[in-house]
Amino acid sequence: MPELPEVETTRRGIAPHVEGREITEVIVRQARLRVPVPVDLVDRLVGARVGELARRAKYLLVPVSGRGEAGTLLWHLGMSGSLRIARLGELPKKHDHLDLVFDDGAILRYHDPRRFGFVDWLAGSAERDPRLSRLGPEPLSDAFDGERLYALSRGRRLAVKPFLMDSAVVVGVGNIYAAEALFLAGIDPRRAAGRISRERYDRLADAVREVLAAAITQGGTTLRDFVAGTGEPGYFKQRLNVYGRDGQSCRRCGAELRLVTLGQRASVFCGSCQS
């Protein structure tokens, strides 16, 4: 599943090609996504101009104005979705469900084999949409720190890994990056969230920022279905310490990495380095 760094990489990759451009055509090949494509999307978008792209958690926000009521396209890539830039004359592939065609011939093309993603229309302020308003802070913002983690974890018996992955606590820390951050911070993912000290949560918050910033810089994590907005894959997978490496040797101490299931998600950790 594309996580926060993949969505941020996508935003940065497609932004120069679509910001400030007029939408001249909208082509919907498959409207039956996780949320059906709005039936009036073509009427709302043709003739409108795209503003500055933004990201909130794993959502991509595409503001448009100039044709009727201004609003925002709320895009979620789901399990297997990707956005890339194509050009007029470039034939769509199987599972290319939606195109936004721009006045310079560029096409923003949405590809999603599993159709778990969606694009929805938000009128007015996007921040009021319940899918966004209930989210916790961005992990790279000043609102996220060890003090927040410590305060929200008091009395919680939940294991720290699913606690860290709760979008009400902090957004965008999915399975890959939670595992990697806990390794960097030296925290056993099975440990109860309420039994971790403030000092260790400070280290964990720093580790979350470090691993996400590194992943964004390197273009996200190359997974089976992900491609960035320019069609280039990410390269962060080469640096993963624990995720997907169960049974292999710890890069730090050489011990065999262990696999457990937490919150119905696989979690790999080092029993020697993480306590």
Mind giving me the DSSP string for the chain? ---HHHHHHHHHHHHHHHTTPBEEEEEES---SSSPPPTTHHHHHTT-EE---EEETTEEEEEEESSSS-EEEEEE-TTT-EEEEEETT-PPPTTEEEEEEETTSEEEEEE-SS---EEEEEES-GGGSHHHHT----TTSTT-SHHHHHHHHTT--SBHHHHHT-TTTSSS--HHHHHHHHHHHT--TTSBGGGS-HHHHHHHHHHHHHHHHHHHHTTS---SS---TTSPPP-GGGG-SSTT-TTSBPTTT-PBPEEEEETTEEEEE-TTT--
What pLDDT was estimated at residue 234?
Answer: 63
Q: How far is CA 125 from the centre of its chain?
A: 21
Q: Is 58 a catalytic residue?
A: yes
- Given 11, 56, 58, 200, the catalytic residue: 58
Fold of 4-133: N-terminal domain of MutM-like DNA repair proteins (3.20.190)
Tokens for 132, please give them: 């966004």
Query: Measuring CA to CA, which residue among 153, 148, 147 is closest to residue 194?
Result: 153
Kindly state the percentage of the chain with pLDDT values over 70: 93
What pLDDT was estimated at residue 67?
Answer: 74
What pLDDT was estimated at residue 139?
Answer: 97
C-alpha–C-alpha distance, residues 228 and 223, integer Å: 11
Parallel/antiparallel/unpaired status of strands 118-123 and 258-262:
unpaired
Q: Is the pLDDT of residue 229 over 90?
A: no
What ranges do the domains of the chain cover? Answer: 4-133, 146-269
What is the per-residue pLDDT across 116-151, written as a single tens digit (0 to 9) for each? 999 999 997 788 899 999 999 999 999 999 999 999
Q: Is the pLDDT of residue 1 over 80?
A: no
Architecture field, domain 146-269: Orthogonal Bundle (1.10)
Give the type of residue at 64: V
Q: Is the pLDDT of residue 68 over 90?
A: no
Q: Is the pLDDT of residue 222 over 90?
A: no
pLDDT band at 227 (very low <50, low <70, confident <90, very high): low
What is the per-residue pLDDT across 153-193, written as a single tens digit (0 to 9) for each? 999 999 999 999 999 999 999 999 999 999 999 999 999 99
What pLDDT was estimated at residue 226?
Answer: 52
Q: Is 36 a catalytic residue?
A: no
Lowest pLDDT segment from 106-115, 194-203, 238-247: 238-247
How far is CA 112 from each of CA 46, 117, 187, 243, rounded to the nearest angstrom? Answer: 23, 7, 36, 24
Q: Is the pLDDT of residue 81 over 70?
A: yes
Q: Is 265 a catalytic residue?
A: yes
- Given 3, 6, 8, 180, the catalytic residue: 3
What is the per-residue pLDDT across 24-61, written as a single tens digit (0 to 9) for each? 999 999 999 999 999 999 999 999 999 999 999 999 99
pTM attached to this predicted model = 0.88
Question: What phi and psi values does residue 249 have, to the nearest 5 degrees?
Answer: -85, 140
Average pLDDT over every residue of 204-211: 97
Give the type of residue at 78: G
What pLDDT was estimated at residue 66?
Answer: 84
146-269 has the same fold as 4-133: no
Mean pLDDT, rounded, of the chain: 92
End-to-end Cα distance, the chain:
28
